[in-house]
Structure 1
Amino acid sequence: MAEVQLRHIDKRWGDFVGVKDFDLTIPDKEFLVLLGPSGCGKTTTMRMIAGLEEATDGEILIGGKVVNDLEPKDRDVAMVFQSYALYPNMNVYENIRFPLKVRNIAPDTHDEKVRRAAEMVELTQFLHRKPADLSGGQRQRVALARAIVREPNVFLMDEPLSNLDAKLRVSTRAQIKNLSHELQVTTIYVTHDQIEAMTLADRVVVMNAGVVQQVGTPTEIYNYPANTFVASFIGSPAMNLVRGNVYKGTFTAENISISGLNSDVEGEVILGFRAEDAIVAANQAATNGVGADVFSIELLGEATMITVKVGDALIAVKADKEYSTDIGKPFFAEIPAAICHLFDAKSGDRISSMEGEK
């Protein structure tokens, strides 16, 4: 049983608050992703779980045992770092084996454990090589194997893919996803990349300025963002956000008019909708949505992204890959009320969406 509990964790350095009142239970075998921009407190939270940082307030429990006063080596966690942290003088085999030696695991079990871990990350043929002779992706897999061989209660992964190029990032992400399914070990994964979070996580914790903004499955966070920060951070592109006014169920802003919204909401709001949910229209007369000149065009392969400017906001609409237009030409898109989200204009907190969720 490797349930991890964080009970009202704070981390402060003098007057600076790094993490504020982080309160969450991570069930056994869950893959939890801490997601947010640089400086949001996600890595500090992970380091407190590992014992590399001391919590200012609150309790950390692993497997039902309070570990605040335990040394990192006594918490039965394995950490994978962004920088690989391999020993350059050791070959791959010895790098993977090293945790077994320092923990005084019976030597006659080492070879089997090392080779099994290496096989899991497809490194068997590279066991004789030194880290300098490996690619970035291979080095990261050595770091993963070194964590696997420990057979810990909890895996901690601190932005393990951020040093890899785009192609390697995709393949290594698939490797981690497969390993998670195979190993069934509680995993806490830190990233600023929302695509990693959405593809890997059972649940995502979105953080900003040390405060948890929302906790939920990738689907919940994508479909029902708790506030404008989450809405603007999740999705590629991020959710379109436009400031305007609602009166008798109709939202209006420069070049936008959408009727059929929640009639209980009136006054200044922020309206959100996703690029893929809007529908390209032939002309203004056909639209309950946006009409403006094309600001930019991006060919994405599977689609064409059209951006228009509405006041100070840039609005993205995903069109068919065959769609063709030019910058400066008129563009119209229907924005059905059912796809819209409303947020409080002052706090940014969610008011509602139009899909029956209040």
Structure 2
Amino acid sequence: MAEIQLRNVGKRWGSFVGVDNFDLTIADKEFLVLLGPSGCGKTTTMRMIAGLEDVTEGEILIGGKVVNELEPKDRDVSMVFQSYALYPNMNVYENIRFPLRVRGIDQSTHDEKVRRASAMVELDDFLHRKPAELSGGQRQRVALARAIVREPNVFLMDEPLSNLDAKLRVSTRAQIKNLSHELAVTTIYVTHDQIEAMTLADRVVVMKGGVVQQVGSPTDIYDKPANAFVASFIGSPAMNLMDGAMSGGTFTAPNVKITGLNAPDGPLTLGYRAEDASLASDGNGQINAPIYTLELLGDATMISVRVGDALVSVKADKTYRAEIGDMVSISVPNEICHLFNANDGARIGE
């Protein structure tokens, strides 16, 4: 069993706080994604679990055992790096085999283990090649196979797809998703890409400035972001956020008036998702403004308008045609509105 517990874990360098009071239990066989912008503490958290960074405060337990003082090699974790970290002088077969040799695994089992791991990531035809003869996607699959061959209790993956082009990212992401299902090993995955987080995770931890902002399933975080930061980070496009004021149940901002809302009077941030809103053909929508830009996405047309300093958007049918500067009316029903405190960004209401 590879349940991982982080008990009030922190990392500091002098007065700088890298990770602050991280407290979470990761279930056995769970696929957990640490998500956030650069510098938020997600990679530092993973490196502390791996033993590559010392913990300043708190405890890390793997399988019920405190591992703070254990060397990385004694924690039974396998890490996949963004940079692949392959040995250029070895062919693919020997790169995959390397962890078995280092750990003194019975040599009679090496061939079977290597070929099983290579088959899982579809590398059987490349075992004789050197890393320099491989594409970026193939090199990343070698790194995955090298992690798999060890049969660890925990997989740690640090932005493994960030060096790949868009098409390869999609196919390799699908491969990782299938592998996690097939191997059923506790996995912690670091990324700044919210699409990776939404598609791969059982649970997502959203981080900012070393502090956990929200923990939940992708659906929970998408449907009920805990604060304006999470709302702005999750979704493609991200949630539209408008700064305005609430008075007597009516929210107003430049070009915006939404009535019948339940929130205290005063400054407020209101959010909605582009796919939840629609164009009001009768002109009686809650947002009325000239078109700032149109983007044809293939399956839809994204229309953006300016509200104060913000650009907010709505998804229209792919056949929709208009010109920049044309007036549009956007329907934003009450039930799709998310309300956030203007000062600290905390969610208001359910």
- Taking structure 1 as the reference length, what is the TM-score of the superposition? 0.97
State the alpha-carbon separation in 2 of the partners of residues 312 and 145 from structure 1.
48
Which residue in 2 is equivalent to 1:339?
336
1:23 maps to 2:35: no
> Mapping of 1:279-358 within 5 angstroms?
279-284=278-283, 286-287=284-285, 289-352=286-349, 358=350
> Mapping of 1:141-180 within 5 angstroms?
141-180=141-180
Please list every run of 5 or more consecutive structure 2 residues that lacks an aligned counterpart in the other structure.
none
State the alpha-carbon separation in 1 of the partners of residues 342 and 67 from structure 2.
42
State the alpha-carbon separation in 2 of the partners of residues 125 and 243 from structure 1.
56
Which residue in 2 is equivalent to 1:269?
268
Superimposed CA distance per residue, residues 313-338 of structure 1 (whole angstroms, 9 cap, x where no aligned partner) = 11111111111111011011100000
Superimposed CA distance per residue, residues 234-268 of structure 1 (whole angstroms, 9 cap, x where no aligned partner) = 11111011111222222111111111211x53221
Which residue in 2 is equivalent to 1:94?
94
Which residue in 2 is equivalent to 1:217?
217
Letter in 1 for 2:322: T
**Which segment drifts farther, 196-205 or 264-273?**
264-273
Aligned partner of residue 143 in structure 2, secondary structure: helix
RMSD (CA atoms): 0.7
Letter in 1 for 2:43: T
State the alpha-carbon separation in 2 of the partners of residues 248 and 276 from structure 1.
28
State the alpha-carbon separation in 2 of the partners of residues 323 and 29 from structure 1.
46
1:167 deviates by: 0.4
Aligned partner of residue 34 in structure 2, secondary structure: strand
- Taking structure 2 as the reference length, what is the TM-score of the superposition? 0.99
1:157 deviates by: 0.1
1:297 deviates by: 0.5
Identity of aligned residues (%): 75
> Mapping of 1:31-70 within 5 angstroms?
31-70=31-70
State the alpha-carbon separation in 2 of the partners of residues 165 and 111 from structure 1.
32
State the alpha-carbon separation in 2 of the partners of residues 265 and 92 from structure 1.
62
Superimposed CA distance per residue, residues 78-131 of structure 1 (whole angstroms, 9 cap, x where no aligned partner) = 000000000000000000000000000000000000000000000011111110
**4+ aligned runs moved over 4 Å, structure 1:** none
State the alpha-carbon separation in 2 of the partners of residues 126 and 291 from structure 1.
58
State the alpha-carbon separation in 2 of the partners of residues 95 and 183 from structure 1.
20
Aligned partner of residue 244 in structure 1, secondary structure: strand
Which residue in 1 is equivalent to 2:234?
234
State the alpha-carbon separation in 2 of the partners of residues 325 and 239 from structure 1.
23
State the alpha-carbon separation in 2 of the partners of residues 321 and 27 from structure 1.
42
Which residue in 2 is equivalent to 1:278?
277
Aligned partner of residue 277 in structure 1, secondary structure: coil
Which residue in 1 is equivalent to 2:244?
244
Question: Across the two proteins, how many residue pairs are aligned to each other?
Answer: 350
Letter in 1 for 2:312: I
1:283 deviates by: 4.0
State the alpha-carbon separation in 1 of the partners of residues 17 and 246 from structure 2.
37
Letter in 1 for 2:218: P
State the alpha-carbon separation in 2 of the partners of residues 345 and 160 from structure 1.
36
